Amino acid sequence: MTRLPLRARLLTALAGDPDGTPPWVRALADGHDGGYFPDGGAVWTVHAGTATFVAGIRALLIQALHPGAMAGVHDFSRYREDPVGRLSGTVRWIICVTYGSTEQADAETARVSRLHQRVAGTYSTDTGLRTYSASDASLVEWVHLAFTEAFLGAHQRWGGPIPGGADAYVREWAQAGRLMRVLDPPETEAELRSRMDAYLDRGELKYDARVADIVQFLRDVPFTGSMRLAYRVLFAAAVASLPRRYRKLLGLRRTVLPVVTSTRAVLAISSRALGSGPRAQDFARRRHQRLQHEIGAGTTAIE
């Protein structure tokens, strides 16, 4: 059996396609507007970096601390049977909202929302059963907050400068929160961290057997070969980069190994591999260039 090149293995995990060009990626070149986020802006910059590999793990660890989110994963997610499919489904939403036209971003958000409609049930608390739904305002907000914090935090550690700074990223990505019906998403880094701390202060986050189960799964996702070794570094990086309060609640400890430096090496290798072919933002730029050409042609015709 032929071993796939690193780029193909990465893209299979991220996009479910060894070329990284499934139909939804090619569709980034279509559409009639620039989308919700500008080329070269804070969101494009953060989401284009390979620090997102760490961010994805970090976001899942933090999100798992909300009992409602954890119940939904336990009751409805197929992450054990199809971890790559679960990952590529999440990546698809991020990519389409980040780089797509507003029409594509809205359609992808609607697709995810339809999947979430069936995610509802109950979970046990110290005072009895509590109902949950993927559309609960508090749950939707927590998922958005955890995502934003994780992607911002990972980029601050392993990425470059953010145009406009951290506040610009939080402010821009608030639009994604509004698409998912988050009420009044934070628009500054300070507000983001304050809103997250409030969940801890109110005692809404907890560690239990379900959280322990998913942490163990995330620690040992069934990759093979060099991908397995690289993932172990990325998991250790996600743990090391967690704010101390969340790491303590999860019962995780930072490794004594030089994980920050090791992660830079893994991310640099991944970046070179992915950069050897077209990426999602390249398709989005084709749309932008076409729109600019159409605008120029229209101006010439009028003159």
Whether 117 is in a domain gets the answer yes
Whether 303 is in a domain gets the answer no
What is the rounded distance in angstroms from the CA atom of residue 275 to the CA atom of residue 299? 35
Q: What's the pLDDT at 236?
A: 97
Whether 301 is in a domain gets the answer no
Q: What's the pLDDT at 2?
A: 47
Whether 299 is in a domain gets the answer no
How many domains would you assign to the chain?
A: 1
What is this structure's pTM? 0.91
Residue 188: which domain range?
6-292
Residue 131 DSSP SS3: strand
Whether 300 is in a domain gets the answer no
Whether 297 is in a domain gets the answer no
What is the rounded distance in angstroms from the CA atom of residue 161 to the CA atom of residue 143? 25
Whether 257 is in a domain gets the answer yes
| Segment holding 121, helix H or strand E | strand 120-125
List, in sequence order, the alpha helices (H) in the chain.
6-15, 23-26, 42-48, 52-63, 67-76, 83-99, 102-116, 137-158, 165-179, 189-201, 209-219, 225-241, 244-250, 259-274, 280-302
Q: Are strands 128-133 and 120-125 parallel, antiparallel or unpaired?
A: antiparallel
Whether 170 is in a domain gets the answer yes
Instruction: Provide block-wise average pLDDT over 10 residues at a time, the chain (303 residues).
Output: 71 80 94 97 97 95 91 74 70 96 97 87 77 86 96 97 98 97 96 96 91 92 87 96 94 92 95 88 96 78 43
